[in-house]
Structure 1
Amino acid sequence: MENGLLFYPLALMAVSAALYVLFTSNLMRAALALMMVFLSLAGIYALAGAEFVAAAQIMVYAGGILIILVFGLMFTSEKDGRPATSSHQYQGIAAVLSIALLTALVRLGLHLPQATPQAAPPSIADLGTALLTDYVLPLETLAMLLLLALVASVYIAAQNQNNPDSP
């Protein structure tokens, strides 16, 4: 019962922060609202019993992806100190596509069969063992790709700062 009491505030926080991301023109505030979405989703994952997914959500999205996004916003902001803003020229198309996607997901959710109880999921220790034995090559490849993306973004930002006329 207490999970339901915590779920609804977390879901409300996620939806309201996501709507703020959609409708604000200040990109830095949108990034901070996106952090609230990520953290509230991590809370929902923790309530659902997926502690590993909640921790990964915080470390990867709120800790990694969002920091890269904020750095990108800081590097591309205006030179005169004004915050970076976005135009809402495609807001109508985005609203129509969002409503269509929501309708499709609700219809799909209503027609799904009820879940049957499954065996107990593997523990976090089993997951860690599998990642470091059977799936070590995909894990290291992903780590190298993320590192390459980070180095490339720093290089591009440095090139743009040295040459302000470049696009």
Structure 2
Amino acid sequence: MESGGRKPRATVELLAIGRYFPPSKPSAILASHADPDIIASLDRWMTSTQATLYISRLWERFAPHFMHSEGNLQFWDPVSRILFSGDLGVSMASSADAACTVTSLAGHIPRMESFHRRYMVSGKVLRLWAHMARTLAIRMIVPQHGALLAGAAVGEFIDWVSDFSCDVDHLTQANYTVPA
């Protein structure tokens, strides 16, 4: 039960659907986008049905992890000087590579670039973040996925993202045309 004695939203949705047909019966789930108002109970549907999930290719790899969204927090521990950076600094690497500590960024950038180009919102936001990050005494950056960054790689990463173009920086009028 949620606070105030209310049932969790996913339970309420399943009970409401159950009035019309068994909740295990849907053969398809259509997720128009990956916000919680659309897919908050996705985990319940994916584990209680055999339904196929239809969602944008941009989000399909996150569906097994019950989605991905903006608004994630970062945490800096001033004692250990570790910045837990969420998705900033993520690298796409094998388990063995992810277990390594990166101390020089140059060879690691190819593992980070495509993720950051797509999932970071804008170069302006990254520049603002970099300006803020330079005020912290960061010994290590620990992203949610991939290798951690330490030593010279910390400053090199901050420099890299401060001059990085991504997502909305790459939009043009061609992205906003009426289909033929």
Q: Give the TM-score category using the shorter length.
A: under 0.3
Larger relative contact order (Cα-Cα within 8 Å, sequence gap ≥ 6): 2
The structure with the largest helix share of the pair is 1
